[in-house]
Amino acid sequence: MSGTEITLVDIASRVLPLLDLTSLNDADDADSTAVLCAKAVTPVGNVAAVCLWPSFIPQAKQALSGSGVKVATVVNFPGGSLPADKVVDQIARALADGADEIDVVMPYAAVMAGMGGDQRAQDHLAACREACGPVTMKVILESGALAKPALIERAAQVAVAAGADFLKTSTGKVPAGATPGAARIMLTACREAGRPVGFKASGGIRDVETAAQYLALADEICGPGWASPATFRFGASGLLDALLGVLGQGPAVTVTAGY
């Protein structure tokens, strides 16, 4: 795709249906959840999912009924430090309330510690996988905390071995969110998984140009037809406003793909 002229409108149109519109703020309440769900359904298409605290699942399910927008929630969030049985309970409650997707923070500190930590993390995630059943399980590696490429690669391999449906970069609760370097490692793990495994870029993605960089990586590593809502997501909040701004403009701004 290098050198191919595309527009920001083209990019925004591609990104919008891949968005997990997210709100995981301490001040979230019923009113903010209503606003989030209303924003998920736009005149130019709907987002893939909303991602919110477990307590707001029933409200979101009702608000988004019939829209095709999935309801995702988080467990073992944000530190990844709860014991597996507690996380399994969180998953069971979320599914009982109607969650369509579960974003689980892996016990990444175990991977960082070494000395059998990979196996402990894999066993933990395998229990989560069993609790999720057929429901999509996105595993948050917290790549900004792992930081080192070798640790990110190991964490990705652990998550894939435990049955992850998606590898997700970040919680958004540590200083370093998604980076192209971490994305490249994780997308390579998706490609080499031997089964369908998707990728979710989350943490600090706020504009269309940045989103385009991650799509270009996915096209390069996994193939130009690979990224779809079933395999690729952006976890963000402000990105939607940027997308709608581009899609609501008059003359399109031209950029070069793959920059």
Catalytic residues: 103, 168, 200
Burial class (CB in 10 A: 0-12, 13-18, 19+), 26: exposed
How are beta strands 5-7 and 254-256 bridged, if at all? antiparallel
Across the strands, what pairs with 75?
Answer: 104
Look-up of token digits 């605290």: 53
| Tally of CB atoms within 10 A around 216 | 18
Looking at residue 37, its amino acid is C
